[in-house]
C-alpha cells in the first residue's frame, strides 16, 4: 500500500511514526515549508492528549520534558478569582495535564522516526478516484506519482480540504484576534490563569511550561487583523490593548521586548468536520480545526491518527475509511460545537447586554459552573476512546463499538443558564436603581 502524508506537523509526524514499521505500507511524507520552524509558541496538553502520546509510545519522553499543572483559575482583569478547579479529581486525573514548548513536542515526534521528510514539496494537482490518487508535486508533471491513499495532515489552511472535502467552504472567522508567545520567568507559584476583561471579549492566559518559562495567549474581539509595521509597534499595541489588566498578566506583558517571538493570528474554524473523500482522508486541523477553548488541537490529531492507523492495519482501505469516520464522528462533532459555542455565546452577551452586563453575567456563570474548559474536559475524559480502539480486531468488533457510534455526547449548553443569570442579576440590581431614583 502506497500512502502519501501531506504535512509534517503534529498529525503527520504522529501518523508516520505509527505506520513506519508496517511491512505492507510504503510511506511518502511531504511538507510544503522549505525547512522546519525553529521558533514557536507553547502548547497545553490535557490528559487525553497525554494518554494518546503514551499509546504512541512517547510517554516517558513527555514525562521527562513537559511541565505538569494541577489547577485552572479564572479571574477578572485584576486577578480576582472568579472560579477555579483542581485537575487532580476524577475523571480529570485520567492522566497528567501538561504544557511545553511546541517545538519540543515536535522534536519528540521526529526523534526515532525513520521516514525522511521531503521539505519544499507541495501537492499542486490531484486526481482523486475510488481506487487511488494521482498526484503532481511542485507543478512538475514529471513528478506525478500514484498512491493508494493520501492523508491530508496539512493543517487548518489545508489545500487538500479545499480541493476535495465535502465541507470545503471558507473557514469560519470567529472574529477574534490573538497572539501567542513564550516568556522567561520563574513559575514555582504559577498555575494556569485565565484573566477575563470586561470589553472586547479580552482574555489573557498565563500557562507555565517549565520551571522558568510561561506560555502566554492573548485575544480580543476585532473585525480585522491590526497591521503593524515593526515588532515594537505590535508590542505597544498588545500592551495598550490589555492596559487595564493587572496582577500576573500585567507583569508578563511588561516583559515583552523585541527579542520575543510573537505568533499572531485569527481564530478560525472548519465549516464542518471532514473525514474522507474517495482516497483522501483528513486528520488533525485539516479535519476538525476549531477554537482553542478545550485545548484539543493536539489531542484530536493524536486520536485521529491512532484511529486511522488501527483501521488501516485491520481492514481494506474502503472499509478502514468508513470505520475511521464512524468511530471519530460523534466525538469530533461534539468537540467543534463545544469549542466554538462559547465564543458565539460571548458575542451574543455583548450584543444583548452591552460589555458590562455581558461580563457580569459571564462571571456569574463561571462562579456557578466553574471554568468552562474544565467542564468540557470532564465530559471528554468520562470515556476513553483509545481503550475501545485497542479492542478492535479484524475478525470481530465489540458490540459496544457500534453502540458508541450511535450515541450522542452531552453538549455544554450555556444559553439557558445565561438567560437565567441575566434575569437574576437584573433583579439583584433593581432595588439599587429604585433607591437612587
Same-domain check for residues 351 and 218: no
**In-domain check, residue 347:** yes
Confidence class for position 415, pLDDT limits 50, 70, 90? very low
Q: Which residues of 305-323 are buried (b: 16+ CB within 10 A; e: fewer)?
A: bbbbbbbbbebebeebbeb
**In-domain check, residue 397:** yes
Three-class SS of residue 36?
coil
**In-domain check, residue 17:** yes
Same-domain check for residues 21 and 152: yes
- Cα-Cα-Cα-Cα dihedral of 121, 128, 143, 23, to 10°? 80
What confidence tens digit (pLDDT) does each residue in 256-302 have? 999 999 999 999 999 999 999 999 999 999 999 999 999 999 999 99
Q: Return the pLDDT at 36.
A: 87
pLDDT greater at residue 98 or residue 226: 98
Q: Which residue has the cell 476512546?
A: 385
Q: Do 145 and 134 touch, CB atoms closer than 8 A? A: yes
Same-domain check for residues 198 and 249: yes
Same-domain check for residues 16 and 81: yes
**In-domain check, residue 400:** yes
Last residue of a domain, one of 235, 268, 301: 268
Q: Residue 272 burial by CB count (10 A; 0-12/13-18/19+): exposed, middle or buried?
A: middle
**In-domain check, residue 412:** no
Same-domain check for residues 319 and 292: yes
Same-domain check for residues 203 and 128: no
Same-domain check for residues 7 and 124: yes
**In-domain check, residue 187:** yes
Same-domain check for residues 162 and 188: no
Q: Do 306 and 58 touch, CB atoms closer than 8 A? A: no
Average pLDDT score, the chain: 89
Q: Return the pLDDT at 405.
A: 43
pLDDT reading at 313 higher than 70: yes
Same-domain check for residues 8 and 131: yes
Same-domain check for residues 136 and 225: no
- Grid coordinates representing 166? 465535502
Same-domain check for residues 34 and 153: yes
Question: Which residue in 325, 327, 204 sits closest to 254, CA to CA?
Answer: 204
What confidence tens digit (pLDDT) does each residue in 315-352 have? 999 999 999 999 999 999 999 999 998 877 777 776 66
Q: What is the mean pLDDT of residues 169-183?
A: 94
**Measured distance CA(122)–CA(117) in Å, rounded:** 12
Domain harbouring 225, CATH code? 3.30.9.30
What confidence tens digit (pLDDT) does each residue in 282-293 have? 999 999 999 999
Residue 42, strand partner residues: 101
Number of domains the chain contains: 2
**In-domain check, residue 213:** yes
**In-domain check, residue 430:** no
Residues 6+ apart with CB under 8 A from 403: none
Domain that holds residue 180: 173-268
Last residue of a domain, one of 268, 286, 317: 268
Domain harbouring 383, CATH code? 3.50.50.60
First-last CA distance in the chain: 79
Same-domain check for residues 89 and 32: yes
Last residue of a domain, one of 242, 268, 294: 268
Amino acid at each position: 500500500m502506497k500512502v502519501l502524508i501531506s504535512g509534517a506537523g503534529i498529525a503527520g509526524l504522529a501518523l508516520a511514526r505509527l505506520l513506519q514499521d508496517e511491512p505492507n505500507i510504503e510511506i511518502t511524507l511531504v511538507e510544503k515549508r522549505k525547512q522546519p520552524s525553529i521558533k514557536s509558541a507553547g502548547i497545553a496538553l490535557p490528559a487525553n492528549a497525554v494518554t494518546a502520546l503514551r499509546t504512541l509510545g512517547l510517554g516517558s519522553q513527555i514525562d521527562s520534558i513537559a511541565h505538569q499543572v494541577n489547577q485552572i483559575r479564572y479571574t477578572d482583569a485584576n486577578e480576582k478569582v472568579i472560579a477555579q478547579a483542581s485537575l487532580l479529581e476524577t475523571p480529570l486525573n485520567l492522566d497528567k495535564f501538561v504544557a511545553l514548548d511546541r517545538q519540543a513536542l515536535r522534536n519528540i515526534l521526529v526523534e526515532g522516526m525513520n521516514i525522511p521528510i521531503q521539505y519544499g514539496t507541495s501537492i499542486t494537482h490531484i486526481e482523486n478516484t475510488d481506487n487511488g490518487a494521482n498526484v503532481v508535486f511542485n507543478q512538475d508533471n514529471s513528478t506525478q506519482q500514484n498512491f493508494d491513499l493520501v492523508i491530508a495532515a496539512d493543517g487548518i489552511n489545508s489545500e487538500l480540504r479545499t480541493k476535495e472535502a465535502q465541507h470545503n467552504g471558507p473557514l469560519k472567522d470567529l472574529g477574534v484576534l490573538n497572539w501567542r508567545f513564550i516568556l522567561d520567568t520563574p513559575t514555582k507559584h504559577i498555575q494556569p490563569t485565565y484573566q477575563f476583561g470586561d470589553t472586547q471579549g479580552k482574555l489573557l492566559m498565563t500557562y507555565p511550561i517549565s520551571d522558568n518559562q510561561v506560555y502566554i495567549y492573548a485575544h480580543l474581539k476585532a473585525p480585522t487583523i491590526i497591521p503593524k509595521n515593526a515588532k515594537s509597534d505590535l508590542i505597544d499595541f498588545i500592551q495598550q490593548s490589555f492596559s487595564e489588566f493587572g496582577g500576573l498578566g500585567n507583569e508578563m506583558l511588561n516583559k515583552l521586548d523585541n527579542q520575543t517571538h510573537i505568533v499572531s493570528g485569527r481564530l478560525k474554524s472548519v465549516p464542518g468536520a471532514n473525514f474522507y473523500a474517495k482516497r483522501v482522508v483528513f486528520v488533525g486541523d485539516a479535519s476538525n480545526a476549531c477554537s482553542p477553548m478545550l485545548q484539543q488541537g493536539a489531542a484530536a490529531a493524536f486520536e485521529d491518527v491512532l484511529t486511522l492507523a488501527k483501521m488501516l492495519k485491520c481492514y481494506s482501505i474502503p472499509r478502514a475509511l468508513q470505520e475511521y469516520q464512524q468511530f471519530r464522528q460523534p466525538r469530533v462533532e461534539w468537540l467543534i460545537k463545544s469549542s466554538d459555542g462559547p465564543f458565539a455565546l460571548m458575542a451574543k452577551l455583548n450584543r444583548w447586554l452591552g460589555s458590562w452586563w455581558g461580563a457580569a453575567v459571564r462571571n456569574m456563570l463561571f462562579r456557578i459552573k466553574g471554568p468552562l474548559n474544565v467542564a468540557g474536559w470532564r465530559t471528554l475524559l468520562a470515556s476513553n476512546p483509545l481503550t475501545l480502539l485497542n479492542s478492535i480486531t479484524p475478525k470481530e468488533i465489540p458490540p459496544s463499538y457500534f453502540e458508541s457510534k450511535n450515541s450522542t455526547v452531552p453538549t455544554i449548553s450555556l444559553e439557558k443558564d445565561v438567560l437565567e443569570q441575566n434575569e437574576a442579576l437584573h433583579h439583584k440590581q433593581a432595588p439599587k436603581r429604585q433607591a437612587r431614583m
